[in-house]
Amino acid sequence: MALLVLAMAGPLASASAATWTVMFRPVATGFVAPTQVTSARDGSNRLFVVERRGVIKAIADNGAGARSTFLDIRGLVDDSAGERGLLGLAFHPNFATNHTLFVYYTRNGGDIVLARYRTNDAGTVVINSTGRLLLVIEHSARSNHNGGALAFGPDDGYLYIGTGDGGGAGDPANNAQNRNSLLGKILRIDVDGTGNGPYGRYRDPSTNPFVGATPGKGEIWAYGLRNPWRISFDRGSRRLFIADVGQNRYEEVDRQNRFARGGRNYGWDRMEGKHCFSNCPPTIGTLPIVEYSHAGGNCSITGGFVYRGATQTNLIGQYVFADFCSGRIWTVPWDGVTRTQRRDTSRMITSFGESDDGELYLVTIDGALLQLLAT
């Protein structure tokens, strides 16, 4: 089925590129500064809304049903600044049987934490006492650029983690280009392995680029990123999409092919988008497939997903993303580089997410959960 959808994606997307727009179907409201919406891919048709304060809400019937508190770790989470808080959630690929999930948050003082939790046998609520630290990254100097993206690779089953550069204009600590720092990176770890890290609860895959003799941290998969605000894998092509927040001029989308080797340098802080930022030759590293400027009120990219659902024909094969400040929504084909604006909205979109069956949803900073439709 994935191959059939993949084969159809290109022609459908290009043939109708100029004839359709997107709209929203209101689903639920009342969430507190949501930072993510996602599903467990366990067939339960629940959506999970992550709130920055340290709470995750589970909503039945793809967001239209009963609402319950799935996780509450407010006592552990520091959300005192706008970019701190509970920032990421990923369910283990075998969640339906092992009831395991992973969260990314800033703890009191600002350090970044990756932690593992388990639910009760019914998978309805997280048992706080099961929490175990996997990774802690020092991040006390500045409150911004904390990253927070989590996604499991569909082919390798490893957990991919997007971290910010540590904050401050122009990456003053040069973390993004420093392969001995875990900041400003995409990390990749085997959460089913043991032996690595300060807590011995994950393993660096042997195919990571800096495992072994090559200098650098073994957890690193890619580097040269400023603040990757949402990463996702296309269910069809299985390509990795990275939305990286820029400095003052450009926002970017990076794309990595299926089975591509790790070790890519995405340029920051030498490059901002496709342009020289500081101390660089004409280009350095891997350039983005898409960039857009801050003209017209744009300021911060919100990364999305390639649509692989069954109900929105025009969206099939399109990577959907938005700008947090302007509310504009664009698409780019999964295998293309042409960005098309689909709507100019007043919504401040913090995150996109997929339901079990691949439909697209989004959350806004004012607490709304909406489904994305194409007309």
Residues of the chain above pLDDT 90, percent: 90
pLDDT of 10 over the 50 cut: no
* pLDDT digit string, tens, across residues 46-94: 999 999 999 999 999 999 999 999 999 999 999 999 899 999 999 999 9
Predicted structure pTM score: 0.94
Nearby residues of 24 by Cβ (< 8 Å), 6 or more positions away: 347, 362, 370, 371, 372, 373
Alpha-carbon distance of 166 to 169, in angstroms, equals: 10
Choices 3.30.2130.10, 2.120.10.30, 3.20.20.70, 2.60.120.10: CATH for 2-374: 2.120.10.30
* pLDDT digit string, tens, across residues 261-301: 999 999 999 999 999 999 888 888 899 999 999 999 999 99
Alpha-carbon distance of 21 to 2, in angstroms, equals: 25
Q: How confident is the model at residue 196 (pLDDT cuts 50, 70, 90)?
A: confident
Q: Is 154 left (phi over 0), alpha (psi -120 to 50) or beta?
A: alpha
